[in-house]
Structure 1
Amino acid sequence: MNEQKATVAQSRAERRNERGTTGVTETAQHRPQSAPFARVDRKAYGYNVKQVDQFLARARAIYTAQDSAEKALTSNEVREMTFDAVRGGYEAQAVDAALDRLEDVFAQRERDALISGKGEDAWLAQIGRLSSVLRNRLHRAPGERFRRPRRNVRSYDVGDVDALFAELLEYFERDKPLSVDVVRRAVFGSAQGKDGYEEQQVDVFLDRVVELMAAID
């Protein structure tokens, strides 16, 4: 698999967290009136059209309750959805943006369902537990929030990650406005050794931050 195809084939979460890289160079073509997204050039790689269309159709059916027998779709499943890379497929960035919005819709539905079924106190308790876990790490000293990478393990620049954490602390502690998309699309430089935080650990944490922000915003 060439480098471009490998990049498109990553999950949305991995693409969003491929911080410090430019991602796929996509050349969008005009799309047919009935198509929900533009396609990349025939020689470029994009998301598999059939897979995207089928997933969105399933999500739409679940959201509108047209298919009550269908297993419920969660915001986490939307966040982790993957599509194969194919030549001439849908433009990845456009699909990712649409699925980010869809994730927010299902997160809000999950919140509303919990409040309706168990009351607002149950929702607040759930949010409180997650918030407490996240705040504990946010309040660690800069440079000490995540483990250092092992040899040959990819890592993010400590200063870049800590800068985002400063914004998150303002958001959680002082109600300073911050869009969840800032976290989703954050870009960190790469680093080695003591200058970096282990990439996977940072990504997992930020996915939980996105989960919390999508639930409360």
Structure 2
Amino acid sequence: MAHPTTQPARGSALFDRVGPREHGYNMRQVDQFLDRAREYYDGWDSALPPVTSHDVRTVSFDPARGGYDPRAVGSALDRLEDAFAQRERDELIAREGGEAWLTRIGRLSSVLRARLHRAPGERFRRPRRRNVSSYNVQDVDALCNELLRYFEHDEPRSVDTVGRAVFRGARGQDGSEENQVDAFLERVVELMATID
């Protein structure tokens, strides 16, 4: 059960917190990342290391008792990622023109669609080690089929549902290699965030 924070996070961000015995996100880490992202986005300090939509999409926080509710932070990060992706697209178009943006999108789309067109069960590697955790092949294929319909038949699909996809577990060669599936889905989310 989430409980409201007693004070807003730095930078006026206000998130719900989990109960005192539950684990949420480390509040200091979340606040620091959001402050850094805001400062970079607003251009307050050009010496700051850049923050990209990829950074927002892949950031992780340590668990902490009584920390921020992960769902509330996740929703804020989704909106922030969209803002960064939009700005990155606008900057690319301003710097190199609309053709450059279309070329970039086209290349990424071609690579992703080529993998989606592989036969079910053969889209991703199978782990070599016997007892390593992997993703259920049928679950992965089901999402891939939905993505094909999104890319080729304009079937509606939320970028958030792809970014938060959950698959049943498998063991070794009975499943798809987790790292390869995760890397692929990260590129799909990148493309969807850019074109939506």
Residue 93 of structure 1, aligned match among 71, 77, 85: 71
Query: What's the CA shift string for 1:1-26, capped at 9, x where partnerless?
Result: xxxxxxxxxxxxxxxxxxxxxxxxxx
For 1:92 and 1:178, the matched residues in 2 are separated by 22
Counterpart code for 1:178: R
For 2:71 and 2:42, the matched residues in 1 are separated by 26
Residue 145 of structure 1, aligned match among 101, 116, 123: 123
Counterpart code for 2:119: A
Query: What's the CA shift string for 1:32-63, capped at 9, x where partnerless?
Result: 25341111122222211122112111212222
Counterpart code for 1:89: G
For 2:143 and 2:92, the matched residues in 1 are separated by 30
Asked whether 1:116 is paired with 2:85, we answer no
TM-score scaled by length of structure 1: 0.83
Structure 1: gaps spanning 5 or more residues: 1-26
Partner of 2:4: 30
User: Secondary structure at 2:131's aligned position in 1?
Assistant: coil
Residue 186 of structure 1, aligned match among 165, 190, 195: 165
Partner of 1:22: none
Query: What's the CA shift string for 1:126-168, capped at 9, x where partnerless?
Result: 1111111111100001111111123111111111111111111
**Greater fraction strand:** 2
Partner of 2:188: 209
For 2:126 and 2:21, the matched residues in 1 are separated by 40
For 1:75 and 1:185, the matched residues in 2 are separated by 16
Partner of 1:158: 137
For 2:133 and 2:143, the matched residues in 1 are separated by 19
Aligned pairs for 1:37-56 within 5 A: 37-56=15-34
Aligned pairs for 1:168-187 within 5 A: 168-187=147-166
Query: What's the CA shift string for 1:185-215, capped at 9, x where partnerless?
Result: 2221112355411111111110110011011
Checking the alignment, whether the CA contact within 8 Å between 2:16 and 2:69 is kept in structure 1 is yes
Structure 2: gaps spanning 5 or more residues: none
Counterpart code for 1:180: V
Post-superposition offset of 1:65: 2.0
Larger relative contact order (CA 8 Å, sep ≥ 6): 1
Post-superposition offset of 1:75: 0.7
Counterpart code for 1:72: P
